[in-house]
Structure 1
Amino acid sequence: MDKLLSGRRMLVVEDEILVLMMIEDMLGDLGCQSVISAATIEKAIALIEAQTFDAAMLDMNLDGGDSNTVADALAERGVPFIYSTGNSGRDMREGFSDRAVLRKPFSFDELTAKLERLLAP
């Protein structure tokens, strides 16, 4: 269990169910209090508007579209987030190029390191 992640509320926006299940398992192993997931932009926005999250993981591409609207909603509420993507190129959006990116497939250690940097005081 990771001290920085223990008790945290995480939002995971991911449309591939097997990847989502892997991430949920990893975050549980890291001690996150709750992991809430969304597979669509609409559901992610509704969750962000209705709940409070300590951090989020955001797939760059959701069902063939980009996740820019979700990134904007997270940023507006001050929720720190990292991107995850299976794409190899640098397809970062202007204004978010400073965000950490996890390249799929990623390891438990890579996820831990990115989240620790994201949530470090």
Structure 2
Amino acid sequence: MSVSNSDLSSSASPSDDSQRASDPLLGRRLLIVEDDPYIALALEETLSEFGLIIAGMARSLEEAVRLSRGDGVDLALLDVNIGHEKIDPVADALAARGCPFIFTTGCGRAGLPEAHLERAMVEKPFYVEEILAALRAELARAEER
């Protein structure tokens, strides 16, 4: 599954100062877990343009687990399948410390970890607006708790 840069393009301008100043994502530290290097790079470049700070980029489950246990992450974007491994331990670690996250997948809800079926999900291929909206919604939900 690949996502082209055009899939991550946006009609929204990341430089619209009036909207950016009030964006709850501005300055938040994001962990991206994605095993496809092209998707990972496109996400990193695009999401940083919208004011997110990329706190970590993991392409393996081991690295993702390590990064998810640190306190330098405010929210996370998790690919459900990392190679042949499932993202479950990373989702569990983030949930245990109350860190909001969303899943990305090409498999639909059936592929989500059983313990996290209620979490937000964005299906591949996706657009940046979908990712941003899901991250904002999950952050708001976490702040209500």
Calculate the TM-score normalised by the size of structure 2: 0.77
- CA gap of 1:89–1:56, structure 2 versus 1, over 3 A, is closer
Residue 52 (structure 1) aligned to one of 72, 77, 90: 72
Structure 1 residue runs of 5 or longer lacking an equivalent are: none
Larger of the two Rg values belongs to structure: 2
Q: CA deviation at 1:89?
A: 5.7
> Conserved in 2, the CA contact under 8 Å of 1:27 and 1:35?
no
Check whether the contact 2:44–2:54 (CA below 8 A) recurs between aligned residues.
no
Letter in 1 for 2:34: E
What is the correspondence of 1:18-37 to structure 2 with a 5 Å cutoff? 18-37=38-57
Aligned-pair Cα RMSD in Å:
1.5
Residue 61 of structure 2 aligns with which residue? 41
SS where residue 15 of structure 1 aligns? coil
| Separation (CA, whole Å) in 1 of partners of 2:64 and 2:33 | 7
> Match of 1:84?
104
SS in 2 for 1:53: coil
Q: Is 1:9 the counterpart of 2:42 in the alignment?
A: no
Q: Output the TM-score relative to the length of structure 1.
A: 0.90
Residue 88 of structure 1 and its aligned partner are, at CA, apart by 4.0
The aligned residue for residue 125 of structure 2 is 105
- Number of corresponding residues: 121
- Could you tell me how far apart the structure 1 residues matched to 2:70 and 2:117 are? 27
Is contact 2:122-2:131 (8 Å) kept? Answer: yes
Query: In 2, distance between residues paired with 1:60 and 1:76?
Result: 18
SS of 1:7's partner is coil
Identity of aligned residues (%): 36
Which blocks of at least 5 consecutive residues in structure 2 are unaligned? 1-13, 15-19
Which one of the candidate residues 90, 95, 113 is aligned to 2:115?
Answer: 95
